[in-house]
Amino acid sequence: MHLTIFLAINITLMYSAPLIFGALGATISERSGVINLAIEGMMTIGAFIGVLIAYRTGNPWLGFLSAGIAGGALALLLAVSAVSFKANQTVSGIALNFIGPGLALFLSRIFFDGAVMTRQVPRRLPRIFDIIRIPSFENSNYFTILNVDVTSVIAILLTVAMWFFLYKTKWGLRVNAVGEHPAAADTLGINVSLVRYLSVVVSGVFAGFGGAAVTLAIVSNFNPDSISGQGFIAIAAVIFGKWKPQGAFFACLLFGFAQALVFLISANTSFAVPSQLLRMLPYILTILVLILFVGRSQAPKAAGKPYEKGAR
């Protein structure tokens, strides 16, 4: 029984990590007043670039960092569109959700001999006990189950860091001010456009990390279904978590547990549940969360509203 509980925790953290990265990215972007619906596209391009660089160099950490850069580059397009040109943020995000996967498949055909599925990377991102060796613990029954992916640990640390940044630092308070009342922030000398640019780019970097957490930790390659809606689930987690990093984190754990439950039920032959129904569970949970909480959660007041200097 204890082993089953620890296994459920391990799998929950593994599936939650990509969602947490994506949700943190959406949180900081929307806290600054820019709605980022392109998390899915940014995760997808990050997932591919992470595999490409890790495959070519043999270094998964370099692939992970490159995935963040790729996600940030795609986010820069959103920033230019939404901040500089005052374009509709929803439409811009949807467009990037087509550009990200399309670019990933285009590049995959170029670098992998016409295939849309990449080859497996030679090395995946390590697990935590691969980095922190505890010889006396390695023969324990709990070793494999507690040996979580390092991306899970990074996601937890980034959640704490973002909470501290948004609520305990001067720059974080500026992000919140720009997202709530950009005109007032402008009168205080805060560069609204710069804050929004940086926040959107950082959101893309986090989303890119989320994509790489899928292809470099959970699986070992990229295919068109690698992300399969996880970016949208991350956005739902932000709404469920009331646009707070800690709230989004726990919402992602809930969605991760739903995926873990699918795995555990599928592995248990005593449950005769069709696999197609089980795979629907995380998405059904996402819809239910949006139905129940989207009207109760209050987004930052300036989210989705382009700022014109001098406007009140």
Q: How far apart are CA 71 and CA 205, in angstroms?
A: 5
Are the C-beta atoms of residues 67 and 46 closer than 8 Å to each other?
yes
Mean pLDDT across the stretch 111-121? 95
107 occurs within a structural domain:
yes
Would you say residue 288 has pLDDT above 90? no
35 occurs within a structural domain:
yes
Angle, CA 205 vertex, CA 203 and CA 210 arms, to 5°: 95
Output the pLDDT for position 275: 65
Q: How far apart are CA 124 and CA 222, in angstroms?
A: 13
168 occurs within a structural domain:
yes
**Whether pTM exceeds 0.75:** yes
Output the pLDDT for position 8: 85
Q: How far apart are CA 259 and CA 11, in angstroms?
A: 8
Would you say residue 298 has pLDDT above 90? no
Q: What is the pLDDT of residues 252-264, one digit of tens each?
A: 999 998 888 887 7
Q: Which two tokens stand for residue 289?
A: 């969360």
Q: What is the pLDDT of residues 19-46, one digit of tens each?
A: 999 999 999 999 999 999 999 999 999 9
Output the pLDDT for position 7: 82
Q: Rounded to whole angstroms, what are the CA distances from 111 to 41, 43, 49, 52, 192?
A: 20, 19, 11, 8, 40
Q: How far apart are CA 238 and CA 169, in angstroms?
A: 21
Q: What CATH number should be reported for the domain holding residue 95?
A: 1.10.3470
Task: Please report which confidence band the pLDDT of residue 295 belongs to, taking 50, 70 and 90 as the band edges.
Answer: low
Would you say residue 270 has pLDDT above 70? no
311 occurs within a structural domain:
no
Percent of the chain with pLDDT over 90: 73
> Which DSSP letter does residue 63 get?
H
Range of the domain at 166: 2-293
289 occurs within a structural domain:
yes
Are the C-beta atoms of residues 256 and 15 closer than 8 Å to each other?
yes
Output the pLDDT for position 310: 61
299 occurs within a structural domain:
no
Are the C-beta atoms of residues 106 and 47 closer than 8 Å to each other?
no
Would you say residue 243 has pLDDT above 70? yes
Question: How many domains does the chain contain in total?
Answer: 1
- 127 forms beta bridges with 149
161 occurs within a structural domain:
yes
309 occurs within a structural domain:
no
Q: Which two tokens stand for residue 70?
A: 């790729």
